[in-house]
Amino acid sequence: MYRLICVVGARPNFMKIAPIIEALESQPDIEVTLVHTGQHYDDNMKQQFFVQLGIPEPDIDLGVGSGSHSQQTAEIMKRFEPVLAKYAAQAVLVVGDVNSTIACALVAVKSHIPVIHVEAGLRSGDRQMPEEINRVLTDQLADLLYTTERNAEQNLNREGIDSARIRFVGNVMIDTLKKHVKKAVPVAKSLAGIDDGDAAKKVEAGYALVTMHRPSNVDDKDTLTRLLSTLVQISAKLPIVFPIHPRTAAKISEFGLQALIDNANIITLPPQGYMEILGLMANAKLVLTDSGGIQEETTALGVPCVTLRENTERPITVDQGTNTIVGSDSAAIMATVDDILENGGKHGRQPELWDGNAAVRIARDLSDWFRQRTQLDKAG
């Protein structure tokens, strides 16, 4: 029996780990221990993600909570180290690019335990993004790297990582989407009771979905003011549905910007669960976002995506998908939105191996990888 610890820590991880855990159930030679670092966690989130996606109750919850990047990373490392010792893991699997990813990878490699990184090789080229640092360092530490697109291998090769450690398997985020999209929460249900029940009627002829949370967009008053003012302009053309991230809500309040959107055709919602967001995204005329995952999901759904960033670590969504990068410039945003409304936007196509079976490929390869390592150890 091969002992594998799978790590989950923050919202973007949940949609990635769910299909992997399910696929590993078909590999009886792999014993999985699920560790939740608690980087993002509350009872509501448990319902919104763990229950909706069928993720089993974590075997261990480190309960780290929020903090600065350094504080959070250090606390995860301190709490994860004794877990490795107790469970005698033969490998640690991490996903994505959050603080939990790099923290647990560091602890594992310093304990001489192999690291497996799912969603390896994505690069934005922007070292100002904490996630970019996490990606680069985790890939350097990993023994086995699973990629979502072929170009990721070129990124890894440039950084000195041998192709023998790399496997192109597809995108586990899309596994989750394809499994759940037909069961997504209807838009009318997500909007029930908002604006005295009128919100659902407002969007019947179409709407734009907005998600925005990155520090580069919301932490600077001028940038956030410009983006919110642009949303007000867009809302004159079609209604906007805007689930507001806690960070964004706090900054809107701090900067005194609530009045800017109160009188616009913008329907604000509290943070939504995966199935609610999936329903809102699948039925939108277009999506404006600064989320990496949503760039991928909109491409899979064929929904035009306007990315409010200067770069992307997922260029395949631009080259092959429905994504357009516009930054925070109001004129660029409006021009792209107008083109989508007038001409339908980019149609795109499904990238290679975004077929809903990435996790199955990972599970099968992991079983072979464990077996080969065991044979090499015996031969040595």
pLDDT of residue 380: 61
Structure-block tokens of residue 51: 């229950």
Residue 28 in 3-state DSSP? Answer: coil
Looking at the DSSP assignment, which residues form a beta bridge with residue 95? 118
DSSP state of 244: P
pLDDT of residue 51: 86
pLDDT of residue 372: 92
What CA–CA distance (Å, rounded) separates 284 from 187?
9
Instruction: Sort strands 60-61 and 30-36 into parallel, antiparallel or unpaired.
Output: parallel
pLDDT of residue 60: 95
Burial of 199 (0-12, 13-18, 19+ CB in 10 A): buried
pTM of the entire predicted model? 0.95
Are the C-beta atoms of 86 and 57 separated by less than 8 Å? no
User: What domains, with CATH codes, occur in the chain?
Assistant: 2-170+354-379 (3.40.50.2000), 185-343 (3.40.50.2000)
**Scanning the structure block, which residue is given the tokens 């680069």?**
136
Kindly list the catalytic residues: 213
Structure-block tokens of residue 322: 């429905």
- Give me the tens of pLDDT residue by residue for the chain, a chain 380 residues long: 999 999 998 888 999 999 999 999 999 999 999 999 987 666 666 667 888 898 888 999 999 988 888 999 999 999 999 999 999 999 999 999 999 999 999 999 999 999 999 999 999 999 999 999 999 999 999 999 999 999 999 999 999 999 999 999 999 999 999 999 999 999 999 999 887 778 999 999 999 999 999 999 999 999 999 999 999 999 999 999 999 999 999 999 999 999 999 989 999 999 999 999 999 999 999 999 999 999 999 999 999 999 999 999 999 999 999 999 999 999 999 999 999 999 999 989 999 999 999 999 999 999 999 999 888 777 76
What CA–CA distance (Å, rounded) separates 116 from 206?
42
pLDDT of residue 42: 64
User: Shortest CA distance to 237 belongs to which of 303, 335, 323, 309?
Assistant: 335
pLDDT of residue 80: 97
